[in-house]
Amino acid sequence: MRARLAAITATVALAATASAEPKPTAVDIKPFRDQLIVLQDAQGGTYVVQPGNDGRVFYGVGKTLYEQVVLTRSSDGEHNSWSVGLWAPRVPDIAPGIVRKTDEGEYFRYCGGEEGRVQLVQRTGDAATKVLDKSTFMTSAMIRKPRWLARDDSLVYYYVDEIRQVYGGKGYRVFVGKKGAMKEIPLVDVATDTAGDVFATKTGDLRLVRVFNDASHDTAVWVKGEKRTTLFLLDVDANSPLIYRDLGVYGFVGTICENL
């Protein structure tokens, strides 16, 4: 009876966690408003940039602009040029999205090399003031990040994501299925420790077994009743476009390279 009660309690707790999905919150730009540069592209995108070592970037199409996750910053004080690398998981080859001011004073957005280059136009004066006054600035729309990805030899994928630490962490979800047709499988229990991960669902257990301090020997398995299916573990960074485009798990994530 106690075991059954514990299982029910765990299920309720996991369901509550899943329903309490974090959401972006408003950002007050007043403390750094006078530092902001307003840029726009021909496709209707707006980029609001705070240059500098602690700079920030906001982007959106319409009046809601989402803060971007900054990966890299560089600047050249002599030419007043700078570049900001941003998390853009739909870009191939583990490349960031980039907003750049050149030595000549031109602005560009890059989503995957020169073929993904788009020129940006700076708005100044009343046009910039109107954008800043009328826009709603929000924290990142990237609520979740990949934890691990695997597939079997029948091209069925097994994917686990979690809430980013800035939004509280944990909150694991499991998806199983073929590309474009993956379904979330409700969790009933979770174990994450130095031995690896176990995600127990209503239909089976997804297990990542880890050799301590030796990721090259990690193994993954899907256990359903008496059947065990060995899985091929896939690098989540190298397969970021697969995760964010092809699997069909994510829709809008609010990055500067949203529509790749």
For 75-121, how does the pLDDT look when each residue is reduced to its tens digit (9 = 90+)? 988 779 999 999 999 999 999 999 999 999 999 999 988 888 999 99
Between CA 242 and CA 248 the distance in angstroms is 9
pLDDT value of position 6: 41
CB-based contacts of 50: which residues, under 8 Å, 6+ apart? 32, 35, 36, 37, 56, 57
Is residue 86 a contact partner of residue 100, using CB atoms and an 8 Å limit? no
The DSSP 8-state label assigned to residue 113 in this structure reads S
pLDDT 10s digits, 158-217: 999 999 999 999 999 999 999 999 999 999 999 998 888 999 998 888 887 765 556 666
Tell me which DSSP letter residue 195 carries: T
Which of these ranges, 175-179, 225-229, 237-241, has the smallest mean pLDDT? 225-229
Written as one letter, the residue type at 100 is R
Domains of the chain: 2-18+144-246 (2.40.128), 30-138 (no CATH)
Backbone dihedral angles phi then psi of residue 63, each to the nearest 5 degrees: -100, -5
**Average pLDDT taken over every residue of the chain:** 90
pLDDT value of residue 8? 39
Per-residue pLDDT reduced to its tens digit, 4-23: 434 434 444 454 444 589 99
